[in-house]
Amino acid sequence: MAFDRFNIDTVFDFTGRKAVGESTQLPILYYKYNMNGTMTLLKCMREHDVQNFVFSSSCTVYGAPSPDNLPIKETDPVGCCQCPYAKCKYFTECLLQDLAQGEPDYWRIIIMRYFNPVGAHESGMIGEDPRGDPQNLMPKLAQVAVGKRPILNIYGEDYETKDGSPIRDYIHVVDVAKAHRKTIKNFQDIRGTEVYNIGTGEGKTAWDMVKAFEIACGKPIAFQMCGRRPGDVPKIYCDPSKAEKDLGWRAERSHTQMCADLWRFYTLNPNGYQDASVLRESGLNIEY
């Protein structure tokens, strides 16, 4: 087991399934993967005296916030969740709070509430390679652009937004990675749990992302308007100022850069990581 073989002081838990719509169809799978895995990990950590834990949570724990309550802060209410995926994140946050209350001088737990991470590393060598049918907007958009999928469904045209499509706080995945690096220096100041919003603070509609992606790939995206997707919230974006104050982190990359980097990854890797052995053998060393 890794805990016996290595001298571990901090665990980052990135595991789990992550599709809102899919979770409404497969709740047992979500409860099994997204909660049992983290519980087992925490048990092993305690047995091996590892105190520092960073949990990948999600903005979905805020449920569907009132438009008057945006941008959303870490202190705003959580738990009124719209789908099983979100409930698993919320229940795991509850477990972490309970652990910290039980042993306040032992655990040092950072909960990162990601908004919508998208994009790829600017080298075009590291990106998302979904197995099977992707559920999220950006990989689907990229698949339409490369011709792997005929058309993009746009879920909802009657939300109260400038173009009728839902608003999200899309954040470049490299900015998310950088936020994690910042946490490592901060554990000495943490007792119990600390929660951070990891977003840009700016809301974009699904249409904004489609238009930005069309510019990145230089071609129109075939689309069709569909009804609302179960479990979707109309509008959410965050106040990320706590992460800036405590961790010295803020998002630096725009939504146009997210699209450009994602498109570079797809054009350089049309078969995803099927060719990953080539990457390993090349001795690639990517700097963050």
Which residues are at the interface with ligand UPG (CB under 6 A)?
A: 18-20, 58-60, 114-116, 135-137, 140, 152-156, 166, 168, 206, 229, 232
State the nearest-atom distance from the C-beta of 83 to ligand UPG, in Å. Answer: 9
Closest by CA to 119, choosing from 174, 165, 71, is 174
Q: Mark whether 85 is an active-site residue.
A: yes
Catalytic residue among 30, 31, 33, 85: 85
State the nearest-atom distance from the C-beta of 228 to ligand UPG, in Å. Answer: 7
Closest by CA to 19, choosing from 83, 96, 113, 91, is 83
The residues, any chain, with a CB within 8 Å of residue 23's CB and separated by 6 or more, are 17, 30, 83, 84, 85, 86, 88, 231
C-beta separation of 45 from 109 below 8 A: no
The residues, any chain, with a CB within 8 Å of residue 230's CB and separated by 6 or more, are 21, 24, 83
What is the spatial distance between Cα 37 and Cα 50, in angstroms, rounded to a whole number? Answer: 17
State the nearest-atom distance from the C-beta of 210 to ligand UPG, in Å. Answer: 8
Q: Which is nearer to ligand UPG, 122 or 232 (CB)?
A: 232
Residue of closest CB approach to ligand UPG: 58
Q: What one-character DSSP code corresponds to residue 250?
A: -
State the nearest-atom distance from the C-beta of 280 to ligand UPG, in Å. Answer: 28
**Angle ∠(102,8,101) on CA atoms, nearest 5:** 10
Strands (E), 75-168: 108-114, 116-118, 152-155, 167-168
Alpha carbons within 13 angstroms on the beta-carbon side of residue 165 total 18
Q: Which is nearer to ligand UPG, 51 or 254 (CB)?
A: 254
For tokens 């071609």, the residue is 219
With b for 16 or more beta-carbon neighbours within 10 A and e for fewer, the 153-175 pattern comes to ebbbeebebeeebbbbbbbbbbb
Q: Which is nearer to ligand UPG, 11 or 199 (CB)?
A: 199
Q: Which is nearer to ligand UPG, 60 or 269 (CB)?
A: 60
C-beta separation of 60 from 81 below 8 A: yes
State the nearest-atom distance from the C-beta of 116 to ligand UPG, in Å. Answer: 4
Q: Which is nearer to ligand UPG, 104 or 220 (CB)?
A: 220
C-beta separation of 47 from 1 below 8 A: no
Which residues are catalytic, by number?
Answer: 85
